[in-house]
Amino acid sequence: FFSVSIANAQNLLNKSMSLDINKQRLDMVLEIISNKGNFYFSYNSNILKRDSLVSFTANNQPVKSILTQLLGAGFEFRESGNYIILRRAPIQLKLVTSSTITEDKYYTISGYVIDEQTGERIKDASVYEKDHLAITNTNSQGYFKIKLKSKYQKASISVSKEYYEDTTVVIEPKHNQVITITLEPMVINEKTIIVGPAGYEAPSTINLEIPINDSTSWMYRYVKLDSQIVERTTIAKWFVSSKQKLQTINLRKFFVARPYQASLTPGLSTNGKLNGQVINNFSLNVFGGYSGGTNGFELGGLFNIDKTNVQYVQIGGLFNMVGGHVNGLQIGGITNTVLDSMRGVQIGGISNFVKRDMSGLQIGGVANVNTQNVNGLQIGGVTNIAAEEMNGVQIAGVVNYTKKLKGLQIGVINIADTSEGYSIGLINIILKGYHKLALYTNETITLNAAFKTGNSKLYSILLGGYNSVPHEKVWSFGYGLGSELTRGKRLTLNTELTCQHLYLGSWDYYNLLNRANLHLQYKFSKWFSVFAGPVYNVYVSNQDIHVPGYKQDIIPVHNNKFGSTVHGWFGWSAGINIF
């Protein structure tokens, strides 16, 4: 708004003054009037051409008369305190300029949509009839034309446009009509920020800090409506037209329920062009469909795209895309994408993606990805990701990841930031968990190293060794699991099960040394400790030849024989832990 300030006055519009203006800017003329009358002018700068040149003469005329001659009959003037408010005169909500009766199956409503305050024609407004499920958009000149069915006894035209209040007018059925409809601009309070980027694209949230005069500041937060989320995805850009995206922006509050619908493609539906605003109980999409949501059963030959929520069953030959939450069963031949939460069973031939919480069973041929919490079971051919908290079980062919583990991970590699559960895999990485590098010796191999990672409940062990005695070489590598029980401030008791292969000069034989370790550990500090303890060994070997330079007598004299290739004996180990 533009304001010009002066002192207080009463009956401002009736105050008389004389003016002689010659080719001066309109905003300067208003300032001259303001100074002569000692009052404020307040107006929306968009309704006046402030840089237009004005020539005008008035001799002792009231301010109201001067303003009418200066601005024309399309304006009205109101007093408020020491202000004169200039605004466009209200235009009739609906103005019927012509009407003819028809006996055809369809009748036509056409006309213009204009701004109530400025009188300008509004482009890209959505004009629709809710019961007929008919919709069109105004063109660049604000013109629209929509066909309605004569079989309906009642009809009303609704108009919606971003940043304007929704308007509905009653239409006389079975009459071809030309009408003008006005829209009232949305009232925006002083702490509201509206962001309207080009191309109907915007980030989910925008935070702005605006300083004000008293050295403080206001924080503004703009949040984009969820109904537009699905249309910002790469998949939707291929299958949802620009007109359908425009409808979403304009009709953000309007959704209607229908018992059923059938679509050939997203633009060819029994619900017409309004299908994106319709929530169906039963939905059949031959190739693919785009609807407001599903509350029952939806089947797509290739794909289903739903703007809001899906409940009960959704099956897509290739993929399903849901902008809201899913409650029930969702099956996608290739992938499923849910941009809110998921509760139930989700099965994707290749992948599943859930933006918010997942509760239930999730099966992905390659990957399951959740950006927040998972409560249930994830089974992924390659990987599972629960970006925040995993309260359940993750089973993956290669990698499992979660920030906070409260359940069980089973995979080749398991990764978590913190863990209150168990990770079973070749490599278990708990970033804020248990990490030890052990250097030790035992009765079989003189030099050994083991890397232990996980948490104190369960950690994995990668180990290797080398026997340094001349002419008695042994190379070893293996894997194990361990657990640590705290017995005091510095004492812990560690139980470990390991299995390692001993290389004794030939790969033609197997030599598996299985060890059950019981270690008493003393911590000198967080980074250093020593340990020692008894071990029971079970050795399984079919190597019956001696390779020169390699150790021959792995099995001690005193042993338990469990078969021709299996022997057991008690041993020991001792060493240090660092980290």
pLDDT digits (tens, 9 = 90+) for 516-534: 999 999 999 989 999 999 9
Residue 408's pLDDT is what? Answer: 96
Residue 315's pLDDT is what? Answer: 97
Residue 123 has pLDDT above 50, yes or no: yes
Residue 45 has pLDDT above 80, yes or no: no
- By residue count, the chain amounts to 579
Residue 4's pLDDT is what? Answer: 37
- Write out the DSSP string of 65-80: HHHHHHH-TTEEEEEE
> Under a CB-based contact definition with an 8 Å cutoff, are residues 13 and 63 in contact?
yes
Residue 208's pLDDT is what? Answer: 54
**H helix or E strand, kind and range, residue 30:** helix 26-37
Confidence at 227, pLDDT banded by 50, 70, 90 = low
Take residue 227 and report the two structure tokens written for it: 């109904």
pLDDT digits (tens, 9 = 90+) for 551-561: 988 999 999 99
Residue 356's pLDDT is what? Answer: 94
Nearest to 161 by CA among 128, 193, 197: 128
Residue 171's pLDDT is what? Answer: 85
Confidence at 190, pLDDT banded by 50, 70, 90 = very low
Residue 203 has pLDDT above 60, yes or no: no
Take residue 383 and report the two structure tokens written for it: 């990987």
Residue 156 has pLDDT above 90, yes or no: no
Listed range (21-30, 335-344, 444-453, 497-506) with the worst mean pLDDT? 21-30
Residue 429 has pLDDT above 60, yes or no: yes
Give the bridge partners for 148, in sequence order. 107
- Write out the DSSP string of 206-269: EEEEEE-TTS-EEEEEEE--GGGTGGGSHHHHHHS-HHHHHHHHHTTT--EEEEEEEEEETTEE
Confidence at 192, pLDDT banded by 50, 70, 90 = very low
pLDDT digits (tens, 9 = 90+) for 65-77: 888 888 877 788 8
Residue 349's pLDDT is what? Answer: 97
Q: Is the pTM of this model over 0.75?
A: no
Question: What distance in Å separates the CA atoms of residue 523 and residue 517, rounded to the nearest whole number?
Answer: 18
Take residue 272 and report the two structure tokens written for it: 């017409």
| pLDDT (average), residues 90-97 | 57
203/460: higher pLDDT: 460
| pLDDT (average), residues 137-149 | 92
Residue 189's pLDDT is what? Answer: 46
Average model confidence (pLDDT) for the chain? 86
**H helix or E strand, kind and range, residue 143:** strand 143-149
